[in-house]
A = this chain, B = another copy of it.
Amino acid sequence: MVDYRSMWSELALDLDKHDLLLQALPRMYADTFLSQDNRPKAMGYFDFVISEIHGLRVKELMDHKAGGGKVVGLFCVFVPEDLIIAAGAIPVGLCAGTQFSVPDAEEVLPRNTCALIKSSFGFKFGRTCPYVQASDFVIGETTCDGKKKMYELLAEYHPTYVMEVPQKKTTLGRELFLEELRRLKAKLEQETGAAITAERLVEATALVEAKRRALRRLHSARKARPAPISGLDALLVTQVAFYDDTARFTENVNALCDELDGRIASGEGACPADAPRILVSGSPMAIPNWKLHRILQDSGAVVVGEESCTGTRYFTYPSPEHDGSLAGQLEAIADRQLETHCACFTPNDERIEDILTLARDWAAEGVVHYNLQFCHTFANEALKVERALARENVPLLRIETDYSDEDMGQLKTRVEAFLEMLRR
């Protein structure tokens, strides 16, 4: 076991507090993931990545920095990873998925902020996330009021750059976003000292697209009955996508998919063929937020997809064709990002269509709408989702929760009743 304490110390982590965080994870991970039956062997890679969550990957980032490279933190799928990579920097999704860092955040942020935002801010404020500590700056966006205003406060503790995402899909909205991409490009060039050339961007986009393609392949494999991989494992893979080395991650996802192809061919599942198939839709789930998936799985269901930013919204939309020029590529990136069917847009009817398609094509018997408490945009769309699914006779369970364990009993009861209803 490598000792990372000097690295964490160098990153100005609160070592005692950070110890508490890391002590809790292995047991939680073992209970949640390692205890599953009949896991694909290729999940071993992801088990290893998690076992080194604040170790090896952080070491890689630090080595990159030691060689003069930059690390850029991000929280949202609207921030284009390929632009960051093209500048020679490494993009990393930041810690945001645990109640552990929430009390720290509540010293500053309003309490009725969603758990994701509080957790992410708390990780910086409490100095317990090596990724934000390692990042040269953070790129925020304006996808919700909570994050938009949190970034203003975060900027007092860490270099933060905010890009605007428009709220209506209009011609001028696209222009504005394109200009924001140009400004972000200039910012990245200024920070890294590297020029983002057309060639570098083609390469970076290819790298990122390969990752997305692998994730789409994994997503497709979940159409099979029985599902060849558990919802927990599939969610974990998407979560890891946000911070792992892109090329290595892609290779390992494809290896996993090869194994799943074999399972599908032989009818082997991670669960019984008659397990109720559930689509989860709504707010994103950052590591280690596995709460809902675990409850569903413990209750006998199998999650076959996540219509979420830690799911389809991250990998579904491919970059459109372009002429190879830098300007043309930025336009393609703008179009790709704006294709994300996020509740930040008004209207956002495409998301409803996505959910209907996913429910149908992945043969989901029910949908669970997962809403982080105080996330206004998704909470408001829940009603539309409910109405649209009702028209197709697909039952919906609406869950609103946070990162605490306080409502576990209640959630279990509701989930079990929902599954019981589906089984009838």
Which A residues form the contact surface with B (CB < 8 A)?
108-110, 112-113, 142, 144-146, 148-153, 162, 164, 166-168, 170-173, 175-176, 179-180, 343-344, 346-348, 373-374, 376-377, 379-384
Closest CB of chain B to A52's CB: distance in Å? 35
Name 11 interchain pairs, CB-CB below 8 A, sorted by A.
Answer: A110-B380, A142-B168, A148-B346, A149-B380, A152-B380, A162-B168, A162-B346, A164-B170, A172-B179, A175-B175, A176-B176
Residue contact A383 to B108, C-beta cutoff 8 Å: yes
Q: Which residue of B lies closest to A114 (CB)?
A: B376
Residue contact A377 to B173, C-beta cutoff 8 Å: no
Chain B residues with CB under 8 Å of A171's CB are: 179
Q: Which residue of B lies closest to A183 (CB)?
A: B170
Chain B residues with CB under 8 Å of A142's CB are: 167-168, 346
Name the one of B148, B176, B348 contacting A172, with C-beta atoms under 8 angstroms. B176
Q: How far is the CA of A343 from the CA of B152 in the complex (A)?
A: 11
Name the one of B112, B149, B151, B346 contacting A152, with C-beta atoms under 8 angstroms. B346
Chain B residues with CB under 8 Å of A150's CB are: 380
Chain B residues with CB under 8 Å of A373's CB are: 112
Q: How far is the CA of A172 from the CA of B163 in the complex (A)?
A: 12
Q: How far is the CA of A347 from the CA of B164 in the complex (A)?
A: 12
Q: How far is the CA of A382 from the CA of B146 in the complex (A)?
A: 13
Residue contact B381 to A149, C-beta cutoff 8 Å: yes
Chain B residues with CB under 8 Å of A149's CB are: 343, 346, 376-377, 379-381
Q: How far is the CA of A151 from the CA of B359 in the complex (A)?
A: 27
Q: Which residue of B lies closest to A112 (CB)?
A: B374
Residue contact A164 to B167, C-beta cutoff 8 Å: yes
Residue contact B170 to A172, C-beta cutoff 8 Å: no
Closest CB of chain B to A263's CB: distance in Å? 40
Residue contact B170 to A179, C-beta cutoff 8 Å: yes
Q: Which residue of B lies closest to A371 (CB)?
A: B110
Residue contact B347 to A152, C-beta cutoff 8 Å: yes
